[in-house]
């Protein structure tokens, strides 16, 4: 996984650099530099504009008592778009502007929903062994492990893993004066 990530970032960075050098040779250094600066400026402006709209939608949904999943996905897409636009490069600028505009963002959200639905289905079919306590049922002679709930007072600190309070109700002394 780390090797794939390293390879992806290396190839991506070399591609961006090669494209900037090519663009600089084609239209000149100063024009290329001005394009980089202008896209960063407009990217920051649009990031702020769309980010505020996404934040308002999130607040509106929360105030109505609705889970703001669409607004959160928009906010994350705008955040990623802002990072892409501030980063110098042609490929990152194109990706950033695509993520800023709602029609292309809709396509990305649709793909992300499909991805997470598939991951959720896979997790339900094949649960992670580290999220549950499995024990072998001796009455069936071993075989497939069965799930058992961990006891509520498990852990070094008592119920739900919280540390017991040093103050108990029996230790409280009421010092309110009587009339």
- Please report, in tens digits, the pLDDT of each residue of the chain (179 residues total): 778 888 888 888 899 899 999 999 999 999 999 988 888 888 888 888 888 888 888 888 888 888 888 888 888 888 888 888 888 888 998 898 888 888 888 888 888 888 888 888 887 777 665 555 444 444 444 455 454 554 444 445 444 445 555 555 555 566 777 76
Q: Where are the domains of the chain?
A: 9-125
| pLDDT of res. 167 | 54
Query: Phi/psi at 147 (nearest 5 deg)?
Result: -85, 135
What's the CA gap between 157 and 167, in Å, rounded?
15
Strand partners, 147: 134
């Amino acid at each position: 996984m780390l090797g794939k990530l390293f390879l992806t970032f290396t190839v991506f960075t070399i591609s961006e650099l090669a494209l900037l050098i090519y663009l600089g040779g084609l239209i000149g250094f100063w024009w290329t530099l001005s394009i980089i600066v202008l896209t960063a400026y407009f990217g920051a402006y649009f990031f702020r504009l769309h980010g505020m709209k996404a934040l308002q939608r999130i607040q509106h949904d929360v105030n109505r008592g609705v889970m703001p999943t669409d607004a959160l996905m928009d906010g994350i897409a705008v955040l990623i778009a802002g990072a892409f636009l501030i980063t110098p490069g042609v490929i990152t600028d194109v990706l950033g502007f695509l993520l800023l505009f709602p029609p292309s963002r809709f396509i990305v959200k649709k793909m992300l929903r499909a991805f997470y639905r598939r991951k959720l289905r896979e997790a339900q079919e094949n649960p992670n062994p580290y999220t549950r306590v499995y024990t072998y049922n001796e009455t069936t002679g071993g075989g497939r492990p069965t799930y058992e709930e961990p006891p509520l007072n498990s852990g070094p600190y008592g119920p739900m893993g919280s540390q017991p309070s040093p103050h108990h109700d029996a230790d409280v002394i009421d010092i309110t004066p009587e009339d």
